[in-house]
Amino acid sequence: MVAKITLAKSAGFCFGVNRAVNMVYKLIDEKKHVCTLGPIIHNTEMVNELKAKGVSIVSSPWEVTTNSTVVIRSHGVPYSTYEEIKSLNLQCTDATCPFVAKIHKTVAKASENNHIVLIVGDKNHPEVMGIQGHCSGEFYVVKNHDELLQLSQELPLLTKKPIYFVAQTTFDVSEWKKCLEIVKKVYTNAVIFDTICSATSERQDEAKVLAEKSDLMVVIGDRSSSNTCKLFDICNRVCDKTFLIENSSDLPKNVIKNACNIGVTAGASAPARIIKEVLDKMTDILNNSSETTDNECNFAEMLEENLKSFNTDGRVMGVVERITPNEIFVDVGRKQAGVVKLSELTNDPNATTEDLVKVGDTLDLLIMRTNDQEGMITLSKKRVDALKGWDEIVKAEEENAVLTGVVTEVIKGGVIVVSNGVRVFIPASQATASRGDALEDLLKKEVNFRIIDINKGRRRAVGSIRSVLKEQRDKIKEEFWKTCEIGKVYTGVVKSLTSYGAFVDIGGVDGMIHISELSWNRIKHPSEVVNVGDTVEVYVKDIDNEKGNISLGYKKQDENPWEVMKNDYPVGTVVDAQIVGMTSFGAFARIIPGIDGLIHISQIADRRIEKPQDELSVGQMVQAKITAIDFDKKRVSLSIRELLNDKEADEASDFEDSAKATDAE
């Protein structure tokens, strides 16, 4: 039988613990006397090792001796502890994990904004106690989804209040998901912050997968460590032979001898040295077992492989310490300095290091090369972004979700959109709302799109901007039809003109102004009144719900020339009018735009004429008298002859007056 041991890649110190331990060792190297506020990690062996180097453990700043440096461990402390340290004027090294510090900031801000803080986690765990200590307002701690539900029943008003919802960084991921379901249903005003540390979730996920494949699972870590106990629970649920051991002396020798597939993981506070000792001891047990002697060589190689990956592979968290134009330097909690070149920070050729990060930022990074001689670890951020981004793309495809990205290139047949660090091809037919729209207009613009095709093997994705635009349009249309009614006024934009009217976009829906509705005057083409791109005010004249057609009105009632006639041109008014047309029975003269009056042939002159053209011509200006208006039939009668008669009468009257005057003399 060939026994196989698999060590989880995520086993051992997490970034935060590693960073805190290194900070303590640095202080020891600097010959400082160190006091840690509580054990620096939940590992008795490690704590004893540090004690032997002179590190003392205190439970409050008041116990710190003069000339000592107090170290705040990765769990963090309440705000009041910082104040105590300050008031005592102590030297302090803050090793609070940046992820925990971020939760402190989040809850402090929530309290500032009068939001209630809901924390899921163990209220007696130092990390949760620290988080509570940064809430200056109302807060609650629940340990699982049952308590969360119970709280909503006990305090129903709470569910309607604004809430910030956070979790202990090492909280069980599956329990967190159950809590989220309740929050989404019950605490409808909650803002959710997923504060579970990815190191924790990755470690838990990997442990579960490994335990499922193993007939014996060994979890290394201190029994007082919360994340180690959670790892044990997770593994124990799927592998009934799961053992929690603190060191190699706890190994269940007889069980190991009979196991085929042994999985090993370790809590965040298990030092690499203890993990190595456990693996060495397992090797001895298996090599001393008669059934596995033949496999000694394979087993040693396997162990070597495991340790190699444990030491160098994969992703690390790094805190930005220094920024130069071409690279940034990060603390990854190891002896070597971490460096990320600008080209490994982003794909954006225009971005600068200062645009992308600031000192103190925590970054998720991929180790590309470890050079012990130079004391450098070369890292990449963009590759981690792309890995994470690809997961987002796959998830978005499964959920038909809308993604946001920036168009970075126009290529043959379409455009490239970069979203979450992943390049997505959008074919030209899917890039714009209508065919023929210029693709170049999209360059450097942020767009929303959906994934319509994906090749997981080749990591290729094809997207559609059009699908999102269409959905937006449909939604707008739906809203429009709900509120549209005859007489409602809209401001729209003229989209196109035809010989019979103008089409106007009135907010996602097109309506048509018939040519007769554009002007009170007779016009030959809509372009005499409006042009494409003009903003116009229109009103709904008619709606055809079945066909989805909307008829629009444009010309205004107060500009109606018949109203003008009624008010300003009563019968008897003498007007200057232009001859605009001739017929055998008379001539038409324009009184005002939109109203042409008829001068009957009998009214053109004070004598009989054969035809209107004998006296008049088109374009000629004449003076005429309004003799009749029929508002119903929209007809106006004019007379030149009456004016001539009036003139004659006036002249006759003038003559008579002057004759009388002469007689009197």
Q: Which residues bind ligand SF4 (CB under 6 A)?
A: 14-17, 74, 97, 99-100, 169-170, 197, 199-200, 268
Of residues 207, 235, 16, the one with CA closest to residue 126:
16
Rounded Cα gap, residues 658 and 654, in angstroms: 6
Beta bridge partners, 621, equal 578
d(CA 661, CA 665): 7
By C-beta, is 100 or 518 nearer to ligand SF4? Answer: 100
- Nearest approach in angstroms of CB 168 to ligand SF4 is 9
Q: How far is CA 269 from CA 46, 47, 177, 200, in A?
A: 9, 11, 25, 12
The least CB distance from residue 226 to ligand SF4, in Å, is: 10
CA atoms within a 13 Å half-sphere pointing along the CA-CB vector of 322: 7
> In the complex with ligand SF4, which residue's Cβ is closer, 267 or 501?
267
Asked whether the CA dihedral 169, 171, 172, 176 is positive or negative, the reply is: negative
Taking CA atoms, 246 is separated from 149, 225, 250, 279, 322, in Å, by: 36, 10, 7, 13, 38
Nearer to ligand SF4, 16 or 130 (CB): 16
Q: Which is nearer to ligand SF4, 200 or 430 (CB)?
A: 200
Q: Please, what is the angle between helix 226-238 and helix 198-213, to 10°?
A: 30
Is there a contact between 392 and 403 (Cβ–Cβ < 8 Å)?
A: yes
Tell the smallest beta-carbon distance from residue 103 to ligand SF4 (Å): 9
Are 42 and 52 in contact by the 8 Å Cβ rule? The answer is: no
- Rounded to the nearest whole angstrom, what is the least distance from the CB of residue 171 to ligand SF4 in the complex? 10
Is 19 or 450 the residue whose CB approaches ligand SF4 more closely?
Answer: 19
> Between residues 69 and 204, which has the closer beta carbon with respect to ligand SF4?
204
Q: Which is nearer to ligand SF4, 16 or 271 (CB)?
A: 16
Q: What minimum distance in Å lies between the beta carbon of 391 and ligand SF4?
A: 19
CB of 314 to ligand SF4, least distance (A): 14
One-letter amino acid at 226 equals S
Residue closer to ligand SF4, measured from CB, 228 or 432 = 228
Active site residue 471: no
| Minimum CB–partner distance for residue 201 and ligand SF4 (Å) | 9
Residue 464: which of 452, 454, 446 has the closest Cα?
A: 452
Contact predicate 13/273, CB 8 Å: no
Class of residue 382 by CB neighbours under 10 A (exposed 0-12, middle 13-18, buried 19+)? buried
Alpha-carbon dihedral sign for residues 572, 578, 581, 583: positive
Secondary structure element (H or E) that encloses residue 98, with its range: helix 98-112
What minimum distance in Å lies between the beta carbon of 164 and ligand SF4?
Answer: 18
CA distances for 344 relative to 231, 385, 400, 518, angstroms: 34, 10, 30, 61
User: How many other CB atoms are found less than 10 A from the CB of residue 235?
Assistant: 27
Shortest distance, position 196 Cβ to ligand SF4, whole Å: 9
- Dmax (CA) for the chain in angstroms is 164
Report the distance separating Cα 371 and Cα 41, nearest Å. 28
At its nearest, how many Å lie between ligand SF4 and the CB of residue 297? 37
Q: Which residues neighbour 122 within 8 Å (Cβ) at sequence distance 6 or greater?
A: 128, 143, 168, 226
| Residue 337: CB minimum distance to ligand SF4, A | 19
**Cα 111 to Cα 134: distance, rounded to the nearest angstrom:** 9
Please, what is the minimum distance in Å from the beta carbon of residue 358 to ligand SF4? 20
Distance CA 638, CA 569 (A): 12
Alpha helices per DSSP H over 116-245: 126-132, 145-154, 173-186, 198-213, 226-238
Around Cβ 422, how many Cβ atoms within 10 Å? 23
Cβ within 8 Å of residue 19, ≥6 positions away: 74, 95, 97, 319, 331, 333
Report the residue number, 42 or 241, with the smaller CB distance to ligand SF4: 42
| Residues 6 or more apart whose Cβ sits within 8 Å of residue 587 | 579, 581, 598, 599, 604, 612, 616
- Is the CB of 138 or the CB of 202 nearer to ligand SF4? 202
| Residue 334: partners with Cβ closer than 8 Å, 6 or more residues away | 18, 22, 316, 377
Tell me which of 112, 127, 321, 479 is the catalytic residue: 127
Position of minimal CB gap to ligand SF4: 16
* 132/170 with CB nearer ligand SF4: 170
Report the residue number, 321 or 614, with the smaller CB distance to ligand SF4: 321
Number of Cβ within a 10 Å radius of residue 519: 17
**Which residues are annotated as catalytic?**
127
